[in-house]
Structure 1
């Protein structure tokens, strides 16, 4: 049976959902509407981790292979603080240009027969007739806003200000830099992307407390003056490379507090929320794109497994809300760690960097940082001993057994 589906928003979530639904049933009539021209997008590079790539290969190897081939990879983190550099191994991370990711997904969707309608804004007043309408129109979703009372939308603003930038400096690891100024600490974290999508480049996110933001004059500076000051502050890690901004209509740069959106329910009749329209998680855990694509996977599975639409949408919502519990908790603690950064910068750089990797812990805010570091290190050593014991146990047993047999001959 042909089902008519409208996806509002041509971001990763809407495009990937259209791909999965077409793969399941080519007869589906699917249109993705995007208000911006094709090829225009905000942001620089996005991150994802190995676990997502495995899921993408399971669902659609064609687009997964293209995404992996266009990504850069790192397995280390580097922190610069007080003139000292600390380096630690990390999980296998990947960076891909947002423009390139959308290009891959749009090309794949078209090849499967999805209609892509650019420069066409869908609002609550001009909704097309469809069996299912998917609101994947981002954090400022007009469809979610129209029915905010039904969805039970809640928004919470974080304390710190952040700015999303690009740079021609290519970081070879996930890189952090912390700089102390007369008005407090300011820091950035950057990661490379660009493979297969133009010149190599990196994303660079800058963050600071509001009093530092005003003290340094970013609240009144033009974009050019603000970028010049940031290039001076982070000169040691940029190695002479420029920072690239994306100013607002008035010529100002886009410093803002991060806003976390939650919704009591994610669907209304035949309308369902997807990706940032349904939920947001703090950027410091680098999971936004991953969660959007996982939403698409879960919704496609639910629609396939539950032919009755209300049941499918309810199942999708339950599954994703449950999956998000631990991730949203980690994101909250991560944001709080940065909001209380001076608490951890009193430690030696290597210890501070170790606790940076532990910033998702609900216990960390309640213990003195030095004590937490010692406990965590002791626990790590104990676990290493346990792993060694498990590895050596069979070897020792085989050796003893061999010697016993030898003694009998």
Structure 2
């Protein structure tokens, strides 16, 4: 099969790798409009589950990605002068430039052709058996047939800006700073010894009140460096590493499509769907799209429309909980005043619970107490499940040693209520 992947991001590159691994006779080309080595942003984040799935699909690229990633287990929240730290699941960060370089090298080794500085528009799609639109949320290939795909875009409320810093955070870091115009906050995570990603967000009234809507890039960075000086430890903030034009402080746009394919054209990654950045799932979802599409194309003799329909069906189902979590996460930040004045320990706990559909409908302090109580009950349940058989065996052994009969029906798990 001849395959053209339009877009040299993680989704397009990883799909090309998987297709060549499945069948080296596939003719696969990746077309990227920008020069090799140029990309926007700084680092991406992912979790252990993705790394496990990468190992299943291509152990060699998984090893390279893990080797060049940094890890953290802690989450830290700075709320004004107060700080709280929680130990959590293992997270990973890797520089976007590094990730793309690793995937490009692996694709070349497998025989994929990479065509950089080769823009593809809806008016000049490449001739191929399968054309994959992996060209991002602003996909030119999708826009050409927007009516067919049923593209819908919904804007969020808050403004945000994607920045970098040479400060290397040792944990996933949240920083909330109060100003005379409301709260402004940052998410920071390391991606290598060279630095960290730092996303700054605020409500519209804060954005205009601070003058960020009127400030030029340099003025805006100076203001943000002052607001987050304690967290940055004197390190500067840097703007986009690419010269590509971009709206300053946009609102996040959630993109959906009614269908993901048209004939031999199929959408992949952000061209098909976007999820709010606060759940850190964009790259993971793009790579998982590539895994699902490659798997759907693996079955010999399956007509292409059937394979594309299977891919879309499976990914839509898998995306539902992530998209729900992303919506709730964005809403939590849009309603930050509801939570920000809680004691830091409680605020951070509810920050971790922001994906809960129940949280917006309960008073925050009540939700916190209920969640703590449920957590204690679940801990007791797990302890009971773990210790129950051990205690039962101990009791039965004592009974037998004393010449007593075993518990009811001879079951070793029949523990008497008042025996020591």
2:205 is aligned to 211
SS of corresponding position for 1:140: coil
**Cα distance, 1:399 vs. partner?**
1.5
CA distance in 2, matches of 1:252, 1:299: 30
**Cα distance, 1:398 vs. partner?**
2.1
1:281 is aligned to 275
Q: Using a 3 Å threshold, how does the CA distance of structure 1 residues 67 and 248 change in structure 2: closer, same or farther?
A: closer
Conserved 8 A contact 2:161-2:199: yes
CA distance in 2, matches of 1:357, 1:268: 39
CA distance in 1, matches of 2:391, 2:236: 58
Where structure 2 has 5 or more consecutive residues not aligned to the other structure, the ranges are: 405-420
1:308-327 alignment to 2 at 5 Å?
Answer: 308-327=303-322
How many residues were matched structurally?
403
Conserved 8 A contact 2:38-2:242: no
1:226-245 alignment to 2 at 5 Å?
Answer: 226-245=220-239
> Could you tell me which of 66, 69, 72 is aligned with 1:71?
69
1:120 is aligned to 118
**Cα distance, 1:89 vs. partner?**
1.7
Superposed CA RMSD: 1.5
Give the alignment's TM-score, normalised by structure 1: 0.96
Give the alignment's TM-score, normalised by structure 2: 0.94
Larger radius of gyration: 2
CA distance in 1, matches of 2:96, 2:245: 23
1:163 is aligned to 161
1:3-402 alignment to 2 at 5 Å?
Answer: 3-194=1-192, 199-246=193-240, 254-305=248-299, 307-402=302-397
CA distance in 1, matches of 2:387, 2:44: 41
**Cα distance, 1:128 vs. partner?**
1.6
Q: Using a 3 Å threshold, how does the CA distance of structure 1 residues 252 and 309 change in structure 2: closer, same or farther?
A: closer
CA distance in 2, matches of 1:157, 1:252: 16
Q: Using a 3 Å threshold, how does the CA distance of structure 1 residues 235 and 171 change in structure 2: closer, same or farther?
A: same
Greater shift after overlay, 364-373 or 302-311? 302-311
**Cα distance, 1:253 vs. partner?**
7.5
1:222-266: per-residue Cα shift (whole Å, max 9, x none)? 111111110100011101111111288699983110000000000
**Cα distance, 1:54 vs. partner?**
0.5
Where structure 1 has 5 or more consecutive residues not aligned to the other structure, the ranges are: none
Conserved 8 A contact 2:156-2:251: yes
